[in-house]
A and B are shown apart, each in its own frame.
Chain A
Amino acid sequence: MNKKQFTQTLKEVAEERAPAVDLWPEIERQLTPRPPRWARGLQLAGGLAGAVVVLVAVLLFAGWMASLSRESDQISAPGPDLKLLGSTIRPQNPVPGATLTVTLRWQTPAQPQPDVHIFLHLLNPDGQIAAQADTPLEEAAWPVPHTLTTTHSLSLPPTLSPGIYTLQAGVYDRRTQQRLPFRAGGERLADGTVTVGMTTVVPASAAQPEGPWAGEPVYSESDGISRAAHDLFQSCGLEDEQIEAAVRLFQGSGTTRQVMQPVLSETDPPWRKIVDVVPVADTVYRVTCLYLEGDTPAPPSPEALLANVRLLETNLDRTGFAPAAPLSLGTTWQNSLGIDPHAGQFIHLFDEEGNLVARRDRSLPFDTGAGVTSQISFTDTLYLPSTLRPGPYRLVVGLYRLDNGWRLPFSTGDGEMIPSGSLSLTTIQVREEPVPLQPDAGGISLDLSAIDQMGTSTWATIDVAVDLDAWNVNPNDASGILPSVTLSHPLVRDAAERQYSPQRVSGHTPDRWQDPYPAEITLALETLPAGTYTLETGIALVYWPAERSLEVTLDGRQVGESWPLTGTVTIGNLAIPLETVALNTRTTGEGEELVLELTVPAVTGEGSALTCLHLEPDLTALGLSYGSGACQPELAGDTISRITATVTIDTTEGDGTIAVPPRVTLHVSGDLQIDGPWSLSWEVPAE
Chain B
Amino acid sequence: MAEAEAIRQIQAGNIDGLKALVEQYQLQAVRTAVLITRDLPLAEEVVQSAFLRFYERAHHFDPDRPFTPYFLRMVVNAAIKAARRRDRTGSLDRPAGNGTVPFYELLPDPRPGPADHLSARLLQEEVWSALGRLSPRQRAAVVQRYYLEMSEAEMAAEMGIAPGTVKWHLHQARERLRELLKDL
CB atoms of A454 and B62 under 8 A apart? yes
List of A residues within 8 angstroms of B102 by Cβ: 3
In the docked arrangement, what's the CA distance between A173 and B13, Å? 12
Task: Tell whether A128 is near chain B: CB-to-CB under 8 Å.
Answer: no
Q: Which of B95-150 contact A (CB under 8 A)?
A: 95-98, 102-104, 107-108, 110, 115, 120, 123-124, 127-128, 131, 133, 142-143, 146-147, 149
Contacts A191-B13, A627-B96; A508 near B162 (Cβ below 8 A): yes
In the docked arrangement, what's the CA distance between A482 and B97, Å? 11
CB atoms of A32 and B15 under 8 A apart? yes
A 16-48 to B, binary, CB cutoff 8 A, 1 in contact else 0: 111011111011101110000000000000000
Name B164's contact: one of A12, A511, A524 (CB within 8 Å): A511
Considering the complex, give the chain A residue whose CB is closest to the CB of B124. A13
In the docked arrangement, what's the CA distance between A403 and B164, Å? 50
Task: Tell whether A626 is near chain B: CB-to-CB under 8 Å.
Answer: yes
List of A residues within 8 angstroms of B168 by Cβ: 481
CB atoms of B164 and A14 under 8 A apart? no
CB atoms of B60 and A503 under 8 A apart? yes
Task: Tell whether A386 is near chain B: CB-to-CB under 8 Å.
Answer: no
Name A630's contact: one of B93, B133, B156 (CB within 8 Å): B93
CB atoms of A24 and B40 under 8 A apart? no
List of B residues within 8 angstroms of A647 by Cβ: 94
Q: Which of B23, B124, B172, B177 has the most CB of A within 10 A?
A: B124
List of B residues within 8 angstroms of A17 by Cβ: 31, 34-35, 40, 128
In the docked arrangement, what's the CA distance between A103 and B30, Å? 45
List of B residues within 8 angstroms of A325 by Cβ: none
Interface of chain A: mostly helix, strand, loop or mixed: mixed
Task: Tell whether A15 is near chain B: CB-to-CB under 8 Å.
Answer: yes
Considering the complex, give the chain A residue whose CB is closest to the CB of B60. A503
Task: Tell whether B68 is near chain A: CB-to-CB under 8 Å.
Answer: no
Task: Tell whether A203 is near chain B: CB-to-CB under 8 Å.
Answer: no
Considering the complex, give the chain A residue whose CB is closest to the CB of B164. A482
With both chains docked as a complex, state the minimum distance between the C-beta of A3 and any C-beta of chain B, in angstroms.
3
Task: Tell whether B154 is near chain A: CB-to-CB under 8 Å.
Answer: no
Considering the complex, give the chain B residue whose CB is closest to the CB of A193. B13
A-B CB pair tally, cutoff 8 Å: 208
Task: Tell whether A615 is near chain B: CB-to-CB under 8 Å.
Answer: yes
CB atoms of A27 and B22 under 8 A apart? yes
Q: Which of A12, A179, A628, A646 has the most CB of B within 10 A?
A: A628
Considering the complex, give the chain A residue whose CB is closest to the CB of B116. A5
Considering the complex, give the chain B residue whose CB is closest to the CB of A191. B13
Considering the complex, give the chain B residue whose CB is closest to the CB of A179. B13
Name B51's contact: one of A23, A181, A617 (CB within 8 Å): A23
Q: Which of B18-69 contact A (CB under 8 A)?
A: 18-19, 22-23, 26-27, 30-32, 34-35, 40, 43-44, 47-48, 51-52, 55-57, 59-65
List of A residues within 8 angstroms of B47 by Cβ: 21, 23
With both chains docked as a complex, state the minimum distance between the C-beta of B58 and any C-beta of chain A, in angstroms.
9
Considering the complex, give the chain B residue whose CB is closest to the CB of A16. B124
With both chains docked as a complex, state the minimum distance between the C-beta of B7 and any C-beta of chain A, in angstroms.
10
CB atoms of A3 and B22 under 8 A apart? no
Contacts A13-B127, A27-B51, A626-B175; A21 near B13 (Cβ below 8 A): no
CB atoms of B146 and A10 under 8 A apart? yes
List of B residues within 8 angstroms of A20 by Cβ: 27
Q: Which of A35-77 contact B (CB under 8 A)?
A: none
Q: Which of A487-528 contact B (CB under 8 A)?
A: 503-509, 511, 524, 526
List of A residues within 8 angstroms of B164 by Cβ: 481-484, 509, 511
In the docked arrangement, what's the CA distance between A542 and B94, Å? 13
Name A508's contact: one of B31, B127, B156 (CB within 8 Å): B156
Number of residues on chain B facing chain A (CB within 8 A): 78
List of A residues within 8 angstroms of B180 by Cβ: 589-590
Contacts A21-B27, A31-B52, A484-B164; A14 near B44 (Cβ below 8 A): no
Name B59's contact: one of A22, A456, A628 (CB within 8 Å): A456
Contacts A6-B146, A18-B27; A455 near B13 (Cβ below 8 A): no
CB atoms of A377 and B160 under 8 A apart? no
List of A residues within 8 angstroms of B62 by Cβ: 454-457
Contacts A455-B62, A481-B164, A628-B96; A508 near B157 (Cβ below 8 A): yes
CB atoms of B44 and A21 under 8 A apart? yes
Contacts A1-B108, A619-B97; A178 near B11 (Cβ below 8 A): yes
Name A15's contact: one of B31, B55, B108, B160 (CB within 8 Å): B31
List of A residues within 8 angstroms of B18 by Cβ: 27, 31
Contacts A16-B124, A190-B15; A484 near B162 (Cβ below 8 A): yes
A 76-91 to B, binary, CB cutoff 8 A, 1 in contact else 0: 0000100000000000
Contacts A178-B11, A455-B65; A10 near B147 (Cβ below 8 A): yes
Contacts A24-B23, A503-B60; A2 near B110 (Cβ below 8 A): yes
List of B residues within 8 angstroms of A457 by Cβ: 60, 62
A 240-282 to B, binary, CB cutoff 8 A, 1 in contact else 0: 0000000000000000000000000000000000000000000
Q: Which of A579-638 contact B (CB under 8 A)?
A: 588-590, 614-617, 619, 625-632
List of B residues within 8 angstroms of A626 by Cβ: 96, 175, 179
With both chains docked as a complex, state the minimum distance between the C-beta of B165 and any C-beta of chain A, in angstroms.
6
In the docked arrangement, what's the CA distance between A10 and B140, Å? 12
Considering the complex, give the chain A residue whose CB is closest to the CB of B19. A24
List of A residues within 8 angstroms of B52 by Cβ: 27, 30-31
In the docked arrangement, what's the CA distance between A377 and B85, Å? 10
Task: Tell whether A157 is near chain B: CB-to-CB under 8 Å.
Answer: no
In the docked arrangement, what's the CA distance between A188 and B49, Å? 14
With both chains docked as a complex, state the minimum distance between the C-beta of A372 and any C-beta of chain B, in angstroms.
12
With both chains docked as a complex, state the minimum distance between the C-beta of A644 and any C-beta of chain B, in angstroms.
11
Name B163's contact: one of A15, A505, A511, A614 (CB within 8 Å): A511
List of B residues within 8 angstroms of A30 by Cβ: 48, 52
Contacts A24-B19, A26-B48, A504-B160; A10 near B64 (Cβ below 8 A): no
In the docked arrangement, what's the CA distance between A457 and B163, Å? 25
Name B161's contact: one of A193, A455, A484, A648 (CB within 8 Å): A484
CB atoms of B35 and A9 under 8 A apart? no
Q: Which of A160-183 contact B (CB under 8 A)?
A: 173, 178-181
Contacts A14-B32, A628-B96; A505 near B51 (Cβ below 8 A): no
Considering the complex, give the chain A residue whose CB is closest to the CB of B55. A31
Task: Tell whether B151 is near chain A: CB-to-CB under 8 Å.
Answer: no
CB atoms of B59 and A180 under 8 A apart? yes
Task: Tell whether A192 is near chain B: CB-to-CB under 8 Å.
Answer: yes
List of B residues within 8 angstroms of A454 by Cβ: 62, 65
In the docked arrangement, what's the CA distance between A524 and B34, Å? 30
Q: Which of A520-573 contact B (CB under 8 A)?
A: 524, 526, 542-543
Name B61's contact: one of A13, A18, A456 (CB within 8 Å): A456
Considering the complex, give the chain B residue whose CB is closest to the CB of A484. B162
Task: Tell whether A662 is near chain B: CB-to-CB under 8 Å.
Answer: no
Chain A residues close to B by CB (< 8 Å): 1-7, 9-18, 20-24, 26-28, 30-32, 80, 173, 178-181, 188, 190-193, 375, 377, 454-457, 480-484, 503-509, 511, 524, 526, 542-543, 588-590, 614-617, 619, 625-632, 646-648
A-B contacts, 10 listed (Cβ < 8 Å): A1-B184, A2-B110, A6-B177, A13-B127, A18-B40, A18-B43, A24-B23, A511-B163, A629-B93, A631-B93
- Lowest 10 CB-CB distances: which A-B pairs, in order? A455-B62, A3-B104, A2-B110, A629-B94, A506-B160, A480-B98, A482-B164, A484-B162, A14-B31, A192-B13
Given A457-B60, A480-B98, 14 new contacts (CB under 8 A): A2-B104, A3-B103, A4-B104, A13-B35, A14-B34, A24-B19, A27-B22, A31-B55, A181-B59, A375-B85, A455-B65, A482-B162, A542-B162, A647-B94
